[in-house]
């Protein structure tokens, strides 16, 4: 639940920042810097947030396509590890 609140707060801040600085000189660069910083923070979290039991990244999600097991990144952290099914607490 707290990850959904963080995502809504990020989106609200993006909208407020975008509407507030767009008319400034260089406002587009401020919005671009916000997006780049957000991506860097997300990537750091995606690689560092790991399950305490199996040490697999929590945001990695297994997906089976044509019998092959592929891994994709999810946006929100699951309540339980998708690999060993233990709770993240």
Which one is predicted more confidently, 66 or 49? Answer: 66
Structure-token pair, residue 12: 């609200």
Tokens of 76: 């929100």
Place of tokens 């923070």: 41
Please, which pLDDT band fits residue 66 given cuts at 50, 70 and 90? very high
- Of 9, 11, 31, 10, the residue nearest 20 (C-alpha): 31
pTM value is: 0.62
Q: Compare 49 and 18 and report the one with higher pLDDT.
A: 49
For residue 84, the cross-strand partners are: none
Structure-token match 């809504």, residue found: 8
Phi, then psi, of 84 in degrees rounded to 5: -115, 0
- Judge contact between 88 and 20, C-beta under 8 A: no
pLDDT digits 0-9 by tens, 21-65: 767 776 777 778 888 888 888 888 888 888 888 888 888 888 889
CA distance 77 to 18: 27
């Amino acid at each position: 639940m707290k990850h959904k609140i963080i995502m809504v707060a990020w989106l609200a801040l993006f909208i407020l920042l975008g509407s507030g600085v767009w008319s400034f000189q260089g406002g587009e660069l401020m919005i671009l810097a916000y997006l780049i910083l957000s991506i860097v923070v997300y990537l750091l979290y995606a690689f560092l947030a790991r399950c305490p039991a199996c040490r697999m990244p929590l945001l990695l999600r297994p997906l089976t396509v044509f019998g092959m097991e592929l891994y994709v990144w999810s946006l929100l952290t699951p309540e339980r590890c998708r690999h060993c099914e233990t709770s993240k607490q």
